[in-house]
Structures are given as structure tokens and as C-alpha cells.
Structure 1
Amino acid sequence: MRQSRVLWLLDLLEREPRADAVINAVRKEVQALPLGDGRDFLHGRWLGHPLHPLMVQVPIGSWLSAAVLDLYPGRSREAGLLVGVGLVSAAPAALAGWVDWAELHRQQQRVGLVHALATSTAVGLYAASLTCRVKGRHAAGRAYGFLGMTAVALGGMLGGHLAYRQASGANHAEEVPHIVTEGWHRIGAVTDFPVDRPVRRSVDDVPVLVVRETGGAIHALAERCSHLAGPLSAGTVRDGCVQCPWHGSVFRLSDGWNVRGPATAPQPSFDTRISEGHVEIRLRQHDRNGQVRDEAEAGQRRTKTGAHEHGS
């Protein structure tokens, strides 16, 4: 079977470097925006997944509804109202999208730039549609609206490619609990882990980050960042957290919680213990409330004497 022509064009777009200078300039501008804590809000860290796909439902839904009304005579006023709602809601949705885009891989940014151009074209066409409707040129308003819907469809297709083919907003650590087998896994002698330095180990072919703190506690997390699979073992350990070297996401070593984005999902974490001078880990299990199962056993794991278990 021959490759889809559309996929061939998209693969070609991913490899096309001629817009990279523009991408670099726009990325720097977006990253320099004084958003403060609002940046994590726009990433969707509080939501647990990117906010942009949720926000775009309002303009897309409004414009699609306007297109349906435009198929019926005498409903141009109501359609114009929906066009206006879509235009107003498109601005915050676009801001969230740009904030996410600035922290993607280059191949994703190339597709994302064209996605943004398509949606910007749609906004321009709908602005023209609304202007025509206000001036009483309803036929032209409907024509611009249908052209805008075409641009929205193109932008949506590119957005789907970003999300599903390129996994731009996916949790890149989600598979860890499904791969690591149950039980304790020995990963090395205690002396193999320098104090306060990230070390990479592997369990069932899954990379694991291990950090031994000055006080003796040992922490273990999935090593590939949930944002875009950055190597946390090459990151910086500070104040009980590790920072991803690729895009700056910060995770708490004790439980993998994503303290700062762009990561929207925490890192899978491991229980740890010392047995006969060796470090052993097992995947941490949580109940429906997010609490570690078997609190009595968790208390035992927190002891720091050599043969006793302690929690990471």
C-alpha cells in the first residue's frame, strides 16, 4: 500500500528547515512574555493535560454552529453573533497554544507554525465575515465564513497531527506502570550512587532516575520526562527536586509531582529500600485518592537503617 499523500506532505513539512529562523525568533518572543505563574496555567499543569485543546472548542464550536445557521435563510444575525463569540474566544486559546508551541521539538514546531498560520487565516476570514455582516452584506459574510471554516479544518488537521502523530501534548511517561513488573528490583550497591547526584539505571528496559540525598534517603523516578521524554538524569538536582535539561520542567523527587511546567503530568515514582547493602526499587502503587497503598508498609520504608525499608 502506498503512503498517503497527506502524510507524505506532513512528513516533508517536519523536515523542512527554511522557516527555522522564524521559529527561533518567535520562540524567543513567546518565552520572554511576562506571564509569571500564568505560564503554567496556560500549559494546563493544574488540569493535568494541555489547556489549548480544551480552549479551542469554543471558537471551533461557535464557527461551526454559525456555518450551520448560514445554510438557512434569515439566520445571518444569529450566525454573526456566533462568529463574534468565536473571535473573542480565539485569542486566549491562541495564547495557550503559543506557550505550548515554544517548548516543543523542532519538527513539532515546524508543523505547529503552519497550524498557527492556518488558524490565523481563519481568524482573519471570520473578522472579515463579521465586518460584512455588520454592514449588511450578508452574502459576503457567509462566503467569508465558509472560507474561514475551511481554514479551521486545515488547522485542525495539523493540530491533530501534532497531538497524535507527533505526541506533542501526550504524557511521555504514561507507559511506565504498564511495563515495569511487580516486586522489588535490585539496581546497584548503595555506594554506586553519589550523594545528591542524579544516576540513571534501568528496570525492565525502563530508564530510572535515582538520587541519594545527603541525609540518606534514596529517591527513584521514571527517568524520561513526561513532557517530551527529556533525560532527567542529565538534569539539575536542587531543593528536593530535579529539573529537566530540555524544557525546564521541575519534578519533586519524593513523589514525582510536577512542581513546574511545561510538564502537565507527574513522573511515575518508585518505593526504595536497602537490602544487604544494595538499593532495591519497586513501582509505587496508589489508591483512588492518590495515596500510597498500605501506609503501615510505607512507614517502614521510610526508616533509613540499612536493612529496613524507607520511602523515596
Structure 2
Amino acid sequence: MAEPLHHQAKQPVSAALAGPYGHPFHPLLVTVPIGAWVGSLVFDVASHLVHDADFLARGAMWLIALGVIGALAAALVGFLDLFAIPPGTRAFRVALLHMALNLLITVAYAANFWWRQAGDGPSGSVGAGMLALNAVSLAGLGLSGYLGGKLAYHYGVRVAHETTQAEGYVPAHRPTGGRHTD
């Protein structure tokens, strides 16, 4: 009997590159751009709350750069996870939208970094346009994260089979000499 289509999306295309069964690298790697870009928005806002804001503007710019680099690394293994999803399925369409949004957001952040680098680089409070682009990009990242969560938690992409998951709920049997120790 043929394996169901959804089982295909649980197996890595390459365990060495995308992470072994049940332990994908993509969710681990996305924490870098998420953290860097949230931090950059905090720095952008904070640059309007202090007298000498140069260090915050520079910090936000470099956090954006770090996020772009992290997003590219996450995208590489994310592509491998995409290849595991059978084309023509709802999960595949959600994955394509998730990927397209992430690529658009990464381009927006790269443009924001380039904009901040223009001229003499950042000084003083971050400009309203740069701050707005940062905020809109982060909102888009939230939407994309929702789609990524749907892939993992609703469709089970790169999540262990239900039978494997059920093993975690089998009571542990410990010899207690007849006494209940919980």
C-alpha cells in the first residue's frame, strides 16, 4: 500500500542539510532574523526617546543586516523543506505563499539596510520612512510566521508521524516496589 501524501512532507529531502526526521533546521534558523528584526524595530523606536541616538540608529542598521543574513540561511533549508511537500496540495500552496512573503520581506529589509547606508550612514534618530518600512516589514513577517505555523502545526510539515508522537505519551514504567511515587 502506498504511503499517504502527507507522510512525504514529514521526511527531509536531505537530513544533513535540512535536519533529521522530526528535527528540521528551518525553525531553528528563523529565530535569527526574527530576533534581529524585532530588535532593530526596538532600536528604531528607542532612537526617538534618547538625546544621543546615533548608537541606536547604527545598532538597528546592523541588526537589519544580521537579519538579512539569517533569513538567507533559513531560506536555504526552507527550500529543502518545500521540496518535500507534494505539489498541487493545500500545504504546498501555503508553503509557496510563506516563501514568497519571506523573500519579499527579506528584500524590504535589504533595501532598508541600503537606505540607511546611503550618504554618511545613520546619525541621530531613525527617519520616519525607515522606521515605517521596518514596522511594515515586521508585520509582514508576523503574517508569514502564521503561515509557517500552519504548515508545521496544521499540516504537519517536517513534524514526526502521529505514531512517533504518540510514543511520548506512553506512561513511563518505573519499578517502585508497589508504591506510587508521583
TM-score (norm 2): 0.71
Change (3 A) 1:112 1:133: same
Q: Which aligned pairs between 1:71-86 and structure 2 lie closer than 5 A?
A: 71-73=45-47, 74=53, 75-86=56-67
- Which of 5, 8, 24 in structure 2 is aligned with 1:50? 24
Structure 1 residue 142: Cα displacement: 2.0
Q: Which aligned pairs between 1:148-167 and structure 2 lie closer than 5 A?
A: 148-167=137-156
Tell me the distance in 2 between the aligned counterparts of 1:128 and 1:177.
Answer: 47
Change (3 A) 1:141 1:50: same
Matched, 1:67 2:41: yes
Name the residue aligned to 1:174.
164
Name the residue aligned to 1:88.
69
Encode CA deviations 1:153-207: one digit per residue, 9 max, x unaligned.
1110100111111111211132454799xxxxxxxxxxxxxxxxxxxxxxxxxxx
Matched, 1:41 2:30: no
Report the 3-state secondary structure (helix = DSSP H, G, I; strand = E; otherwise coil) of the residue aligned with 2:14. helix
Larger Rg: 1
Tell me the distance in 1 between the aligned counterparts of 2:79 and 2:107.
Answer: 18
Matched, 1:145 2:131: no
Tell me the distance in 1 between the aligned counterparts of 2:36 and 2:141.
Answer: 12
- 5+ residue gaps in structure 2? 1-12, 48-52, 173-182
Residue 112 of structure 1 aligns with an amino acid whose one-letter code is: A
Tell me the distance in 1 between the aligned counterparts of 2:82 and 2:37.
Answer: 24
Structure 1 residue 129: Cα displacement: 0.9
Q: Which aligned pairs between 1:1-312 and structure 2 lie closer than 5 A?
A: 39-45=14-20, 48-73=22-47, 74=53, 75-105=56-86, 106-135=89-118, 136=121, 138-139=126-127, 140-172=129-161, 173-175=163-165, 177=167
Q: State whether residues 22 and 158 of structure 2, in contact with CA within 8 Å, keep that contact through their aligned partners in structure 1.
A: no
Higher helix fraction (1 or 2): 2
Structure 1 residue 101: Cα displacement: 1.0
TM-score (norm 1): 0.43
Could you say what the CA RMSD is over the residues aligned between the two structures, in angstroms? 2.7
Percent identity over paired residues: 32
- 5+ residue gaps in structure 1? 1-37, 181-284, 286-312
Encode CA deviations 1:46-91: one digit per residue, 9 max, x unaligned.
x851110000000111001111111112211100010000011111
Tell me the distance in 1 between the aligned counterparts of 2:78 and 2:63.
Answer: 22
Higher relative contact order (CA 8 A, sep 6+): 2
Q: State whether residues 87 and 123 of structure 1, in contact with CA within 8 Å, keep that contact through their aligned partners in structure 2.
A: yes
Residue 87 of structure 1 aligns with an amino acid whose one-letter code is: V
Tell me the distance in 1 between the aligned counterparts of 2:106 and 2:113.
Answer: 10
Structure 1 residue 40: Cα displacement: 2.1
Report the 3-state secondary structure (helix = DSSP H, G, I; strand = E; otherwise coil) of the residue aligned with 2:164. coil
Report the 3-state secondary structure (helix = DSSP H, G, I; strand = E; otherwise coil) of the residue aligned with 1:171. coil
Report how many aligned residue pairs link the two structures: 146
Report the 3-state secondary structure (helix = DSSP H, G, I; strand = E; otherwise coil) of the residue aligned with 1:155. helix
Residue 43 of structure 1 aligns with an amino acid whose one-letter code is: A
Tell me the distance in 2 between the aligned counterparts of 1:84 and 1:175.
Answer: 38
Higher strand fraction (1 or 2): 1
